[in-house]
Amino acid sequence: MKIYLFTLLILMYYVLATIVLRPLLPDHISILKPYGLLGNSQRTKSVKTGLPGNWPPPVDKSSLCGSPEVLTAALLDTTQTRTDLLDNLGDLQHTINTRSVQAQAFFNQGLRLIYGFNHYEAYRSFVESARLDSTCAMSYWGQALAMAPNINSPIDKERSQTGYKAIQKALSLKKKATKAEQAYIEAMANRFSAQPDIVQSKLDSAYALAMGKLATKYLNDPDAGTLYADALMNRMPWDYWTKDGQPRPGIEQAISHLERVIKQYPNHPGAHHLYIHVVEASNNPDRGVRSADRLGTLMPGAGHLVHMPSHIYLRVGRYTDAVESNLKAIEIDESYLAQSQVTGRYSMAYYPHNIHFAWAGAVMDGNSKLAIAMARKTSSRANRENMAAHSFLQVFYSLPVYTNIRFGKWNEILTEPYPGKELLHASAMWHYGRGLAFTAKGKLDLAAKELSALDSLSKDSLANQDYVTSQMIAIAIKNVGGEIAARQKNYPEAINLLKEGVRLEDDLKYDEPRTWPQPLRHTLGLYYWKRDCLRKQKPYT
The pLDDT of residue 217: 98
Whole-angstrom distance, CA of residue 166 vs CA of residue 71: 10
Q: How far apart are the first and last CA of the chain?
A: 102
Q: pLDDT 10s digit of each residue in the chain, 541 long?
A: 545 554 555 555 444 444 444 433 333 323 222 222 222 333 333 334 444 333 333 333 233 233 333 344 444 444 566 788 988 999 999 999 999 999 999 999 999 999 999 999 999 999 999 999 999 999 999 999 999 999 999 999 999 999 999 999 999 999 999 999 999 999 999 999 999 889 999 999 999 999 999 999 999 999 999 999 999 999 999 999 999 999 999 999 999 999 999 999 999 999 999 999 999 999 999 999 999 999 999 999 999 999 999 999 999 999 999 999 999 999 999 999 988 888 788 888 899 999 999 999 999 999 999 999 999 999 998 888 888 888 888 999 999 999 999 999 999 999 999 999 899 999 999 999 999 999 999 999 999 999 999 999 999 877 778 888 999 999 999 999 999 999 999 999 999 999 999 999 999 999 999 999 889 999 999 999 988 877 776 655 4
Q: What is the pLDDT of residue 340?
A: 82
Nearest C-alpha neighbor of 511 from the set 288, 284, 239, 329: 239
Phi, psi (degrees; rounded to nearest 5) at 100: -95, 115
Phi/psi at 470 (nearest 5 deg)?
-60, -45
- Residue type at position 221: D
pLDDT at residue 462 in the model: 77
Summarize the chain as % helix, strand, coil (round to 5): 65, 0, 35
- Would you call the peptide bond into 58 cis, given omega within 30 degrees of 0 as the criterion? no
- Phi–psi pair at 241, nearest 5 degrees: -135, 145
Q: Report the alpha-carbon distance of residue 272 to residue 285 in Å, rounded.
A: 13
Set out the domains of the chain in order of their start, with CATH numbers: 92-331 (1.25.40), 382-535 (1.10.3450)
Helix axis angle for 179-189 and 200-217, nearest 10°, is 160
Q: Is 462 left (phi over 0), alpha (psi -120 to 50) or beta?
A: alpha
- For position 52, what pLDDT does the model report? 38
| 330 contacts 354 by C-beta, under 8 angstroms | yes
DSSP state of 418: P
**Distance from C-alpha of 457 to C-alpha of 452, rounded to nearest angstrom:** 9
Residue pair 502/524 in contact (Cβ under 8 Å)? The answer is: yes
Q: Who contacts 162 (Cβ-Cβ below 8 Å, separation ≥6)? A: 68, 71, 72, 75, 143, 147
Residue of 437, 461, 462 whose CA lies nearest to 449: 437
State the pLDDT at residue 384.
82
Query: For residue 234, which amino acid is it?
Result: N
